[in-house]
Structure 1
Amino acid sequence: MPSTINATPLALAALLFASNALAADETVVKIGVSGPLSGANAFAGKDNENGVRLAIEDLNAQKIKAGGKPLRFELVSEDDQGDPKQGVTVAQKFADAGVKFVIGPYNSGVAIPASRVYSDNGILMSTVGTNPKITQNGYPTVFRIVASDSQVGGSVASYAAKELKLKNVGVIDDRTAFGQGIAAEFKRQAKAAGMNVAGHEFTTDKATDFAAILTALKARKVDAIFFGGYAPQAAPMARQMKQLGLNVPLLGGDTLCSPEMAKLGGDAVGENVRCAQAGAILAKQTDGPAFQAKYKQRFKREPDVYAPSFYDQTMFIGQAIKTANSSDAQAVNKVLHTATHEGVVGTYSYDAAGNLKKTSVTVYTFKNGALVPLASY
């Protein structure tokens, strides 16, 4: 008995030593997430973060090695508040912390200035920001992991012309980089499709009262309104359209394709809302239902718009590290530009500018508070 008691501390010490030695032999790969974790779009920021967290858990379960050392992936998340200045501060914070892979920012207006900081520090930035300017600065470490405004805005315009047979449309944008970009693309391609743009009104991404601009568009007898902006404004806009008797479709991009839209808009959000989201229909993809089930089990809620894309790009980075046999950002960057990754919501391969070589866009509406796909382009 005495010998057993005396051996226990020694065994524990040996175990602790072995554990510390293993930890010292690990390579820690920090995956940064920059997004709005506070404010009106916090629901999206948290959803995106959850997508990355789920991928990191899956990558760690794979026991990946690079350069002969085991890797441990670690999530480092920062709140950029959807604000360009804060986004730049977050980018510098990541650089100072030695983060070499960042998923985000969510907002185009944040991604545009932050991309320079990431590029200057050799950090790979993978964003869902859709403004075309993000990938036009020649930064080789920038990736757009979804379709651009040109593709999304064009798909909505095509759907509006071909399926809804619209002739006279109004446009509203929130003056953010995202809102202006997608509204401009919709206008350009709507006109090319033969539609008349009866008016273009402006608001902000903090506004809640849209009565004046909606009344102005109603007077111009528009048969639809395209809104370049986010769900926290689009939902009350839909309610106010209903109150004003402006019973025409409310069109928009991917930011309207969110459960938050139905949650905030209530019975004012239904088949009157048509939105376009980059990517294929998740539920119809081979691994889509399994991802949805895993996400719901882990986070007790359904995935929102971009959790699958954030998951996919994080997994692609893990695959690229394994292929390169290195966690060096330059080595991984080369693989991301030459390899292809089959994700849960699509296929990822990038051109020299960091844009997806091929991506589909799906138009959705709402039925009983849930997104229902209508057409893919």
Structure 2
Amino acid sequence: MQYKLNVLVAAAVTLFAGAVSAQEVVKIGHVAPTSGGIAHLGKDNENGARMAIDELNAKGVTIGGKKVKLELQAEDDAGDPKQGTAVAQKLVDSKVNGVIGHLNSGTSIPASKVYSDAGIPQISPSATNPKFTRNGYKTTFRVVADDVHLGGTLGRYAVKELKGKSIAVIDDRTAYGQGVADEFEKGVKGAGGTTVSHQFTTDKATDFTAILTQIKSKKPDVVFYGGMDAVAGPMIRQMKQLGIDAKFMGGDGICSGELPKLAAGAMGDGQVVCAEAGGVEGTQKVGMDKFREDYKKKFGTEVQIYSPYVYDAVNVMVAAMVKAGSADPAKYLPVLAKTDGYKGVTGTISFDEKGDVKNGALTLYTYKGEKREQIAVVR
């Protein structure tokens, strides 16, 4: 009888310890394409999340008087909208406390409804399509400027700074590619310029001979591509093969450290001009430089594009939990929405009523000697 009693007591203690342990774990979901053509960007994002969580756990996080352990649940959506919603539902079913992601606008937008229905906050570090924060969901946030700002700025730059007279546009028909290309065209027209051609491809295409031949007949001095670096690299290569001597422009999707490799030596110095949402200058640059140094030390590779924004998004979310004294989404969500003046490595983060970052900066870059070089930070 005593033996049975001891067994029951031991079982009860184990169950209680398990319950306490479960309460002390805060699960952060992260979604990006870690397979497919832009897996290098997805892995970069995931690394940014791991870095933030490892640092926070090392420092120790206390929420509501209890020390918690942050746990990352990383998922792959392959950049596919259907897989994106399936993964979103998986995270909801896993009862994550919040989600950082997705990388692409095309997956972030449909997934945002799943998170909204479950009341789980979602911060995207890289979805720039304006629609992402315009569905009226209270759970949706982003820490980057949107395509209206990004595309418009590049369009004006093409006309005023690059003196583009014959501007051609190509987009990959994804939510991101089409969105940024459309805003680029508006920016060109607003600056008094004209576009001479708008061609379409896909985010899986490898042969651009037909569309580039049509564009070549227009004698372009600027070619803008709305899409990601995995397609932009081969496109730059084929432009060179066809003798198209034009500046090549794109948004944050092409603005990666991997682009010169993907272009396989076809990029001329200063030929590519791209913009990344976000940007730091002056004293704030010290924090970004340290992040890049720490990232390389930890992962043995350079930052691609978005990992600093993922890093900031995790920290902003956890800061809201700490301030609210709870990791319960319903309790910390109102605090997250009021985020104001958070000093991150990507700049100062404050959210407006839609969940967009206020006064978002943009950084313009070019490439020289196959290295990315900053041109300017604009707002």
Report TM bin, short chain.
Answer: over 0.9
Question: Equivalent residue for 1:317?
Answer: 317
Contact 1:205 1:230 in 2 (8 A): yes
Residue 157 of structure 1: CA displacement? 1.1
Question: Equivalent residue for 2:29?
Answer: 32
SS of corresponding position for 2:301:
coil
CA distance in 2, matches of 1:271, 1:81: 32
Question: Equivalent residue for 2:276?
Answer: 277
Aligned residue runs from structure 1 range 90-105, under 5 A:
90-105=87-102
Residue 167 of structure 1: CA displacement? 1.7
Residue 196 of structure 1: CA displacement? 1.0
User: Which is worse superposed, 42-51 or 282-291?
Assistant: 282-291
Residue 141 of structure 1: CA displacement? 0.5
Residue 26 of structure 1: CA displacement? 5.1
SS of corresponding position for 2:258:
helix
Aligned amino acid, residue 339 of structure 2: A
Residue 21 of structure 1: CA displacement? 7.9
Q: TM-score, normalised by structure 1?
A: 0.92
Aligned amino acid, residue 275 of structure 1: C
Question: Equivalent residue for 1:142?
Answer: 140
Do structure 1's residue 288 and structure 2's residue 288 form an aligned pair?
yes
Q: Are residues 159 and 342 of structure 1, via their aligned partners in 2, closer, same or farther at CA, if it must alter by over 3 Å? A: same
Contact 1:156 1:186 in 2 (8 A): yes
SS of corresponding position for 2:31:
strand
Aligned residue runs from structure 1 range 147-158, under 5 A:
147-158=145-156
User: Which is worse superposed, 332-341 or 117-126?
Assistant: 332-341
SS of corresponding position for 1:220:
coil
Residue 232 of structure 1: CA displacement? 0.6
Aligned amino acid, residue 21 of structure 2: A
Residue 231 of structure 1: CA displacement? 0.4
SS of corresponding position for 2:99:
strand
Aligned amino acid, residue 172 of structure 1: I
CA distance in 2, matches of 1:166, 1:224: 6
SS of corresponding position for 1:160:
helix
Contact 1:167 1:194 in 2 (8 A): no
Structure 1 runs of 4+ with >4 Å offset: 20-23, 281-284
Question: Equivalent residue for 1:363?
Answer: 364
Contact 1:107 1:129 in 2 (8 A): yes
CA distance in 2, matches of 1:199, 1:25: 57
Contact 1:282 1:288 in 2 (8 A): no
Contact 1:171 1:199 in 2 (8 A): yes
User: Of 186, 189, 192, which residue of structure 2 is paired with 1:191?
Assistant: 189
Question: Equivalent residue for 1:87?
Answer: 84
SS of corresponding position for 1:287:
helix
Contact 2:164 2:193 in 1 (8 A): yes
CA distance in 1, matches of 2:326, 2:192: 52
CA distance in 2, matches of 1:196, 1:317: 43
Contact 2:295 2:302 in 1 (8 A): yes
Question: Equivalent residue for 1:302?
Answer: 302
Question: Equivalent residue for 1:126?
Answer: 123
Question: Equivalent residue for 1:209?
Answer: 207
Residue 64 of structure 1: CA displacement? 1.6
Residue 117 of structure 1: CA displacement? 0.4
Residue 135 of structure 1: CA displacement? 0.7
Q: Are residues 25 and 187 of structure 1, via their aligned partners in 2, closer, same or farther at CA, if it must alter by over 3 Å? A: closer
SS of corresponding position for 2:26:
strand
CA distance in 2, matches of 1:259, 1:249: 18
* 1:198-257 deviation digits (Å, cap 9, x = unpaired): 010000000011111111111012211110011010000001111111010110000111
Contact 1:100 1:122 in 2 (8 A): no
CA distance in 2, matches of 1:321, 1:297: 29
User: Which is worse superposed, 266-275 or 165-174?
Assistant: 266-275
* 1:303-350 deviation digits (Å, cap 9, x = unpaired): 110000000110111111111111111222212221231101111110
> Where does the alignment leave 5 or more consecutive residues of structure 1 unmatched?
1-12
CA distance in 2, matches of 1:246, 1:154: 24
Contact 1:312 1:344 in 2 (8 A): yes
Contact 2:64 2:322 in 1 (8 A): no
Contact 2:29 2:99 in 1 (8 A): yes
Question: Equivalent residue for 1:253?
Answer: 251
Do structure 1's residue 59 and structure 2's residue 42 form an aligned pair?
no
Contact 1:35 1:104 in 2 (8 A): yes
Aligned amino acid, residue 164 of structure 2: L
Question: Equivalent residue for 1:113?
Answer: 110
> Where does the alignment leave 5 or more consecutive residues of structure 2 unmatched?
1-9
Residue 23 of structure 1: CA displacement? 6.1
Q: Are residues 25 and 249 of structure 1, via their aligned partners in 2, closer, same or farther at CA, if it must alter by over 3 Å? A: closer
Aligned-pair identity (%): 47
Question: Equivalent residue for 2:3?
Answer: none
